């Protein structure tokens, strides 16, 4: 092969190495007000949602390799902003009830957990029983956890 072929290959490799130096925030802040839901609900949330919607993210190995690490960190930050089960207790009863309904809506529509996540974490593919658990919980009405 001629030299011309190798120049871009080496260049691209160099860029990949260099971007690893860009720091990525992968913090797990303390869990201050975790949601209190029945054990069967917690089980589903933990297996399918907690990596993004809690302060207990299990950062995956691919989350350490740029540029994928940037995408993972971005998703987690955005997800925590929308819904954080580690800080659920800070919500008003009204907001909590609303968010609970939204949880089921997202799951029912197949929006959550994110498809790319399920692809990499097959255990997060919810069975019919697991979905039912969330549905019942979301419609559980006004009985608050506190």
Rule CB under 6 A: is residue 41 a binding residue for ligand HEC? no
Between 88 and 117, whose beta carbon lies closer to ligand HEC? 117
Is there a contact between 55 and 29 (Cβ–Cβ < 8 Å)?
yes
Rule CB under 6 A: is residue 91 a binding residue for ligand HEC? no
Between 66 and 84, whose beta carbon lies closer to ligand HEC? 84
Q: Buried b vs exposed e over 95-127: b needs ≥16 C-beta within 10 Å?
A: ebbebbeebbebbeeeebbeeebbeebeebebe
Question: Closest distance between ligand HEC and the C-beta of residue 124, in Å?
Answer: 6
Is there a contact between 24 and 66 (Cβ–Cβ < 8 Å)?
yes
Distance CA 73, CA 12 (A): 23
Question: Closest distance between ligand HEC and the C-beta of residue 79, in Å?
Answer: 4
- From 14-22, 23-31, 58-66, 102-110, span contacting ligand HEC (CB under 6 A): 102-110
Neighbours of 84 (CB within 10 A): 21
Q: Which of 20, 22, 28, 82 binds ligand HEC (CB under 6 A)?
A: 82
- From 1-9, 10-18, 62-70, 112-120, span contacting ligand HEC (CB under 6 A): 112-120
Could you give the C-alpha distances from 62 to 24, 57, 67, in angstroms and in order? 13, 13, 9
> Which residues contribute to the site for ligand HEC (CB under 6 A)?
48-49, 51-53, 75, 78-79, 82-83, 102-103, 106-107, 112-114, 117
């Amino acid at each position: 092969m001629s030299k011309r072929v190798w120049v871009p290959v080496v260049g691209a490799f160099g860029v990949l190495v260099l971007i690893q130096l860009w720091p990525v925030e992968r913090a797990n802040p303390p869990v201050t007000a975790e949601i209190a839901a029945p054990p069967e609900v917690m089980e589903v949330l933990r297996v399918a949602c907690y990596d993004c919607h809690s302060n207990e993210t299990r950062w995956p190995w691919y989350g350490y390799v740029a540029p994928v690490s940037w995408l993972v960190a971005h998703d987690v930050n955005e997800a925590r902003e929308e819904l954080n089960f580690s800080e659920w207790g800070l919500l008003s009863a009204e907001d909590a009830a609303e968010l609970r309904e939204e949880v089921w809506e997202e799951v029912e529509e197949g929006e959550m957990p994110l498809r790319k996540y399920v692809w990499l974490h097959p255990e997060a593919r919810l069975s019919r029983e697991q979905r039912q658990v969330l549905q019942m919980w979301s419609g559980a009405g006004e009985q608050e956890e506190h």
